[in-house]
Amino acid sequence: MNRVSNLTGRYQRPWLRAVTISIGTLSAAGLVVPGRTSDILLGSAMILLITTPLLRVVWVIYRVAREGDRRFSMVGVVLLSAVALGVLVSLLLRG
Amino acid sequence: MNPLLFVLAAAITCGVGALAGVGGAILLVPVLVLTGMPVAEAAPLGLVSVAALSIAAAPTHLRYRVVNHRLGLTTEVAATSGAVVGALVAGLIPNQALVYLLAGTSLAAAVAGGRRRGLRNKPDPSLDASAVGERIGSLSGAYPLGNEIVPYRVERLAAGLGFMTLAGLVAGTAGVSGGFIKTPAKSELMRVPTKVAAATTTFTIGITASAALSVFAVQGRIDIDAAGAIIVGSLLGSVLGARFQARIAPTVVRAGLSALLILVAIVLVVA
């Protein structure tokens, strides 16, 4: 069997907890605060919500590459490229 | 719809979904559609709920080292491609067709949930705690089960990727997580232990949701006020559901959820 990866989640856990609390707090505050501040708070929560899973992928690519596992770091790059392509196509279709 | 009702709907559906381990969007989206919201508007809100659940559940799954990131990245290339295509074409599909797709999806989830099986991979007494985790350069790994260590290998990758593409398409068009396709496909088809399959799926549904939400955000299809309420409700429901999960037998919860999903499918078609 191949070597065991040291991708244990030790670094991901604390910041994912912090992000969960931040997203919940920003959303709850955005619901009770009126006007433009509400839009800013809810918009920030949405940005965090959308980018966090993608940042996790970036982190995994980095850790996997550091282990010398080029095959799976390339798979991660292909995955992010698929997301970027989707956003690009939707921008082109909108414009 | 009143923001408090969004919070309540997301909290209840995510709570029930977390109890059964399938997420909340599979119930939330049909509930929103039944209140008169078009599927094209309800789908992004369903994915907001999926992303919130994926992020909130991550620390627990990571603590037990049951997430296989390499398997997640590999299967997610197919699922994300499907989700992006689904999100791009969702606006072009008539609402009634999406309602039927949602009803079919609910029925499929009911069947998949009801068919889930027990232990397949056997513990290896020669392995100790240092063997737990994924393997460098491969999709295989080992996970802890009580005091024992269970090794596993991934089989039938190509067929699995086909199901992941389907799961992504369903997520992008109907706004559900697709986890009810991904977890059984990993577990039953690719022979990944259910615990690893479920934890890896929770990691990947966040990526699928994120990819589809990026497209919806560019298209201006996310109601930011409703999304805020859905996030609050989803986080509350996920935490409460996970807390009660240990007190109720999983078989009872899965049977109840399957019955509820069949009812939802019937109401969607009839209403």
**Which residues from A are below 8 Å from B137, CB to CB?**
2-3, 69, 71-72
| d(C-alpha A35, C-alpha A15), whole Å | 30
pTM given for the model: 0.89
Residue with the bigger pLDDT between A25 and B271: it is A25
Which sign does the torsion angle of CA A34, A35, A36, A39 carry? positive
**Which residues from B are below 8 Å from A67, CB to CB?**
136
**Which residues from A are below 8 Å from B80, CB to CB?**
79, 82-83, 86
Q: Do A5 and B70 touch (CB under 8 A)?
A: yes
| d(C-alpha B102, C-alpha B38), whole Å | 12
Q: What percent of chain B has pLDDT over 90?
A: 40
Q: Do A5 and B74 touch (CB under 8 A)?
A: no
| d(C-alpha B52, C-alpha B204), whole Å | 12
Closest residue of chain B to A85, computed from CA coordinates? B84
Strands B141-145 and B133-134: antiparallel
Q: What is the DSSP letter of A84?
A: H
- Over the stretch B130-141, which tens digit does the pLDDT of each residue have? 899 999 999 999
- Over the stretch B62-115, which tens digit does the pLDDT of each residue have? 888 889 999 999 999 999 999 999 988 887 888 788 888 878 877 887 787 666
CA distance B225 to chain A (A): 7
| d(C-alpha B248, C-alpha B255), whole Å | 12
From chain B residues 189-218, the ones with a CB under 8 A of any chain A CB are 203, 206-207, 209-211, 213-215, 217-218
**Which residues from A are below 8 Å from B225, CB to CB?**
31, 38, 42
Per-residue pLDDT of chain A (95 residues; tens, 9 = 90+): 578 888 888 889 999 999 999 999 999 999 999 889 999 999 999 999 999 999 999 999 999 999 999 999 999 999 999 999 989 998 998 76
